[in-house]
Chain A
Amino acid sequence: MTARMDKRFADLAAEGRPALVTYFMAGDPDFDTSLAIMKALPSAGSDIIELGMPFSDPMADGPAIQLAGQRALKGGQTLVKTLEIARLFRQGDQNTPIVLMGYYNPIYIHGVERFLDDALAAGIDGLIVVDLPPEMDDELCIPALKKDINFIRLATPTTDDKRLPKVLENTSGFVYYVSMNGITGSALPDPTVIGGAVQRIKGHTKLPVCVGFGVKTAEHARAIGASADGVVVGTAIINQVASSLTEDGKSTGATVPGVETLVRGLAAGVRSAKLVAAE
């Protein structure tokens, strides 16, 4: 649903602060734990949830997210179960936008139309599909927009001014600016450089611009949040989950509380960003 996303950004704009967007992997390390993590995110301060769909060959991801996906798949996670996690979450939360993030093949195999219907029924608000550039819009982007599901595109440092309009053309919800040329989990580049890039994108679109890849701490969140409409944190959360597991990869009593504590800190980061921006 596109309305939920638009309302969230409008409310945040009124509050005068950037969004905290949190990514975690569905099914990592098991169905129930990841559902519990998802349910804990809004009260810990997450404004938008990116629900990772595990894929066997995550070409744009670093080791942390690769391993999280492997743990999830080993635990029997599937696309259908990922939608089920979203559906169960949505029963208790009507306000937090959910964005599915992953790769195209599991969606293609599920069947595009069937996937979109199932996603809508589960309360999904948007999609980020890493391996579908604008050149492939007929595959999923256009059908998703027709069904009122946001298609959120990645813009990267290689997306120059000439190409940006093509990337933005069918983008909705928000623009996800990838802070660097690289894979998830790399080091964060200089926030002032990122700020410049965000301004460049804002020159081409009225959509909110969220920045991800490399944001790990509250301090990062504050620094990036000073110039962006949202900050996306993924690998840090995945690492937090991983560090709480037993040696054979099972969740412990520390798994969900560990994520909550981390997200609370990040939420404080984006809330202090408001002050910086207002100064």
Chain B
Amino acid sequence: MNETPHLNSFKTGPDEDGRFGIFGGRFVAETLMPLILDLQAEWDKAKTDPEFQAELKHLGAHYIGRPSPLYFAERLTEHLGGAKIYFKREELNHTGSHKINNCIGQILLAKRMGKTRIIAETGAGQHGVASATVAARFGLPCVVYMGATDVERQAPNVFRMKLLGAEVKPVTAGSGTLKDAMNEALRDWVTNVDDTYYLIGTAAGPHPYPEMVRDFQSVIGIEAKQQMLEAEGRLPDLVIAAVGGGSNAIGIFHPFLDDESVKIVGVEAGGKGLEGDEHCASITAGSPGVLHGNRTYLLQDGDGQIKEGHSISAGLDYPGIGPEHSWLADIGRVEYVPIMDHEALEAFQVLTRLEGIIPALEPSHAIAEVIKRAPKMGKDEIILMNLSGRGDKDIFTVGKLLGMGL
């Protein structure tokens, strides 16, 4: 965050209207517009306030457990027989994923703004759990909107949220997944503008959310870069992360964007294949449109109606993507590729058995891409992958798919 950007930097966005090229913006109802402008003003102040940064750093170290380790996956590397594979271990964070990095940052902002009630949307429940956690830590009531389908497939996280004192509201509209939860959270926000802070869980939504969430998550890439230099004395050749809304991905990508030698790959949910509608590959198979406050790649039909999408992983089951990713795809700085459900499931098992790490189904998509690429790379090359979350929440889903009696 403190580096001066180069002349042709990829890190200068967004502009003051919240745009990354044609993507981003502030497509919200008038009721919300003043709130978003307030948030931006507060965020602009906090960014440069040493006290805010110090508090963030302190909570990062003592509450989240930062820095998260950079781990050389020796057995997986050996197994694949190519590039050296490193994981950034975000799954070791408090609450088990990268989501907490953003939640701590945003709840500090909410506090500064005098807000007394937190709302959030969640897909996999990881953001819901992280939101409920920081709400408990700071003594604020929290309502989490979660698609009814996701409430079912991510039951362990629903229990955790309830134990943490949050109210979980199942959303039955649409297919009952993340998109529908976000609609409902926006409806709540429009209704409770005075006291409520909307804690968006990914690098999407109206400006300033995409930029703000990215900056809170960039700690991942900043640390990883430093750690990689310490471990290997050089930068990685390839950085890989799974992309739902895109927060863990932009968090690890952003600090590397201006390092020309580093290839960057985002992995989208290919679901059951890109031929039909049962996937969430917004960039690979979607087109630009406007939803949830920003212009970005979306899964939609010819009439501009948003499709439901599908992924084995609730956290990737979203028909859009953060606007900065759309821009990075269009200008060609980052390559986005799909991974199918069955490939992710296979990768989940490989990592579990070889490294003794049970990954969440979201980063399992990134692992599957690593499994494809590493063998084709030289032994002197290095892959850095964001292991964004642990898989405890997914064991029932996976057990069922593998036909294991639990």
Contact = CB atoms under 8 A, between A and B. Distances in A.
Interface of A: 55-60, 62, 66, 73, 78-80, 103-110, 130-136, 153-160, 163, 167, 178, 181-183, 186
Contact of B33 (A109, A133, A157): A133
Interface stretch (B97-105, B187-195, B277-285, B334-342): B187-195
Contacts of B298: 105
A193 to B, nearest CB: 15
B170 interface: no
A222 to B, nearest CB: 26
Contacts of A66: 173
Contacts of B300: 105, 109
B179 A182 contact: no
Contacts of B293: 131
Interface residues of B, number: 37
A57 B173 CA distance: 9
Contacts of A158: 30-35, 193
Nearest to A107: B304
Contact of B191 (A56, A130, A135, A183): A183
A57 B179 contact: yes
Given A57-B179, A156-B31, A181-B31, A186 B303 contact: no
Given A59-B183, A60-B187, A106 B304 contact: yes
A106 B304 CA distance: 4
Interface string B118-148: 0000000000000000000000000000000
A135 B28 CA distance: 10
B35 A136 contact: no
A135 B206 CA distance: 12
B34 A105 contact: no
Interface in B290-309: 290-293, 295, 298, 300, 302-306
B306 A105 contact: yes
Contacts of A57: 174, 179, 183, 291-292, 306
Nearest to B302: A109
Given A106-B304, A109-B303, A183-B191, A135 B34 contact: no
Interface of B: 17, 25-35, 173-174, 179, 183, 186-187, 190-194, 287, 289-293, 295, 298, 300, 302-306
Contacts of B295: 108
* Secondary structure type dominating chain B contacts: mixed
A206 to B, nearest CB: 20
Nearest to A183: B187
A239 B26 CA distance: 32
Contacts of A155: 30
A105 B30 contact: no
A57 B291 CA distance: 8
B183 A108 contact: no
Given A57-B179, A105-B290, A136 B25 contact: yes
B194 to A, nearest CB: 8
A48 to B, nearest CB: 20
A106 B303 CA distance: 6
Contacts of A163: 33-34
Given A181-B193, A183-B187, A183-B191, A133 B304 contact: no
A105 B289 contact: yes
Contacts of A131: 27-29, 290, 293
Given A58-B183, A60-B186, A158-B31, 17 more contacts: A55-B305, A59-B29, A59-B187, A60-B190, A80-B303, A107-B304, A109-B304, A131-B27, A133-B27, A133-B29, A158-B32, A158-B35, A163-B33, A163-B34, A181-B190, A181-B194, A182-B31
B26 A133 contact: yes
A55 B173 CA distance: 13
A132 B174 contact: no
Nearest to B188: A183
